[in-house]
Chains A and B, each alone.
Chain A
Amino acid sequence: MTSDIALAGPDAANAEAEVLRKSPFAIRGLTVSYDQKPAVFSVDATIRPGQMTAIVGPNGAGKSTLLKAALGIVKPLSGQITSLGRPLAQEMHRIAYVPQRASVDWDFPVRVIDVVQMGLYREIGLLKRLSGGQKSKAMACLARVGMEDFAKRQIGQLSGGQQQRVFLARALAQDADLYLLDEPFAGVDAATEKAIIEVLKSLRAEGRTVVAVHHDLSTVPEYFDDVLLLNVRKIAEGPVAEVFTDAALEAAYGGRLASARITTNAATG
């Protein structure tokens, strides 16, 4: 990689290396395609540390695909993903991923607390038993999302919002520096949305980085510091105040903006 960068001159290479070293989550030249139709095309993005970033774009813009490809869950056609200058694949122990709620079978025979304890897997490994401290840590994570009373419930008995909170609690148990969330607010009730955003803000207060795929334009300025606007390509990235403009939204949403802007204005204006 260094030799390729050197091609553009030593100064550019050094500056780029410095940028990558600082960013907890940097994407370079990521292209993912399903059946020869690019879902994500040649995206570069540099997430700032200790901020909350929203990945925003219309349906089918490749938001979830971007996350999954970055994490190696789907195979990209090209691209490099780094965290603090090192390949992301080597830094997975500092990363917590919250998949879309609908991606798993909620009829699976486990209890809420079992799911949260999955977040401790890196600590306990194959055969070690959970220590008392680890058990109370899992409970504390559950309490942090307001679900401690549901610990013994079977996961299928939870509402959508409660399921999302359990997923968040599992990520909290991972004690990560970088949290990647795929549509954490999709189909949840207002109370859950509030609870989740409070937890995410507390993570930021602890100096951790939060990146969330988000579909509700109206809440972007309220919830997030930075935004990555995506529609197969990157449209814009940066602080919400600079990037979350009508022009950029129009570029991302095209003719579909009319309805999108109404919701934005209704909430912010």
Chain B
Amino acid sequence: MFWSALTFQLGYNATLVTLGATLLGVAAGVTGTFLYFRKRALVSDAISHATLPGVALAFIVMTMLGFDGRNLPGLLIGSAITAALGLYCVQWLSSRTRLTEDAAIGAVLSVFFGFGIVLLTVIQTMASGGQAGLESFLLGSTAGMLYSDAVLIAGGGALALALVVIFRRPMLMSAFDPEFARASGIDLNRTDLIMMGLVMGVTVIGLKIVGLILIVALLIIPPAAARFWSDRATNVVIIAGILGGIAGWSGASLSAVAPNLPTGPIIVLFAFALFAASMLLAPGRGLLMSALNHRRFQRAVHIRQGLVSLAQGQPIYEPLTLRLLQKAGLARADGVPTDDGRAQSSRVLRDEKRWEVARSDPAFEMAAARYDGLTQIEDVLTPDQITLIDTRIGAPSVVAQ
């Protein structure tokens, strides 16, 4: 069953919804990356919570005008209006008062959501309100979706994605290097507006499937996961889109075969699984690799420090240093260097001296910038340059002890 859903073989509606969720995931992942680089990930939380009063108001207005209150396009338009108002409140509070953006976000999301709840209870008391089913907007649901709704979501996802592709350059530039973007003639305010507009669009489209409480996860988790895989902004954007798409696709598919479970949480947990795998396993920034690197680095520092001390005949203070030297066969338990240790320490000392010369000579400034206390100077300078340095130091001396 799950497999048929994954391969789009579960009927027209389910296929459309899964397609919509996939497109939505890609669009959200990509849009979220710009937000992430601007360090404003949680603004989306305020926007999404602020949709609730809009949904409720739209239902009330449509019902009072004699239309079907559950008309999805109408509800989404309503949600977009209050989401925009919520976003405006966040901007206003954090720019015009002393409140920081996080406080403004928290205030807006709780107050708008609270007011939305008030409106929901009003709807429950309305004659036609009992079956409104607006609660499904909280956690998302794909069950019982109308054909037109599925088309709307798939189309909306495609549109959001298209807009992201069109505006990717200015958004990337202003997210990554605002000063440079401004100098290149990009209107930062307008780019921010487009970015926030896209965030709103993704939120509104995602309301029905993922629900307003969890839609932020699609904007936040894929970029954070993608960040582990690359240091290049463009790559992060693409990877985040892919990860978001996978989460949306597999989540919606699973939800299609388990209609009693809310869709939003399933998609979010898929996204988190991708995040956890990335955080653990990604090369470079992943936890496993950096833990190994850190350990290696710490040992290298201790051994180098110890060798320098040995070379200069100084006592070794740190038990860990001594233990590592001992283990590497460079020193005895009482701190006396072995033959190997003596040879290596004189080499380290010579390296230190060379660095000292290189770092004090403006001619080597470029190379000196790579000094980190561990890199061997042979890795940075040419043999000729080293010979030049050595003539200034004199012949390497062997440590006496």
Contact = CB atoms under 8 A, between A and B. Distances in A.
Interface of A: 1, 4-5, 7-8, 12-13, 16, 28-29, 31, 33, 36-38, 41-42, 77-80, 107, 231-233, 247, 250-251, 254-258
B335 A233 contact: no
Tell me if B's interface is mostly helix, strand, loop or mixed.
Answer: helix
Given A8-B315, A42-B308, A247-B360, 4 more contacts: A8-B335, A29-B318, A80-B318, A107-B98
Given A13-B315, A78-B320, A231 B297 contact: no
B334 interface: yes
Given A41-B373, A232-B373, A254-B360, A4 B368 contact: no
Decide if the interface of chain A is mainly helix, strand, loop or mixed.
mixed
B321 A78 contact: yes
Contacts of B302: 78
B365 A4 contact: no
A134 B289 CA distance: 54
Contacts of A251: 356, 359-360
Given A251-B359, A254-B359, A254-B360, A4 B305 contact: no
Q: Which 10 A-B pairs have the closest CB atoms?
A: A255-B362, A7-B335, A8-B315, A255-B365, A41-B373, A251-B360, A38-B373, A42-B305, A36-B297, A250-B360
B314 to A, nearest CB: 7
Interface of B: 98, 293-294, 297-298, 301-302, 304-305, 308-309, 313-322, 334-336, 356, 359-365, 368, 371-374
A16 B368 contact: no
27 contacts: A4-B315, A4-B318, A4-B319, A4-B335, A7-B315, A7-B336, A8-B313, A8-B314, A8-B335, A13-B315, A29-B317, A31-B373, A33-B297, A33-B301, A36-B297, A38-B373, A41-B372, A78-B302, A79-B318, A80-B318, A232-B372, A254-B360, A254-B362, A254-B365, A255-B361, A255-B363, A257-B362
Nearest to A28: B317
A29 B305 contact: yes
Interface centre among B293, B305, B309, B361 (most CB of A within 10 A): B305
A78 B305 CA distance: 10
A77 B301 contact: yes
A17 B309 CA distance: 17
A5 B315 contact: yes
Interface centre among A36, A77, A250 (most CB of B within 10 A): A36
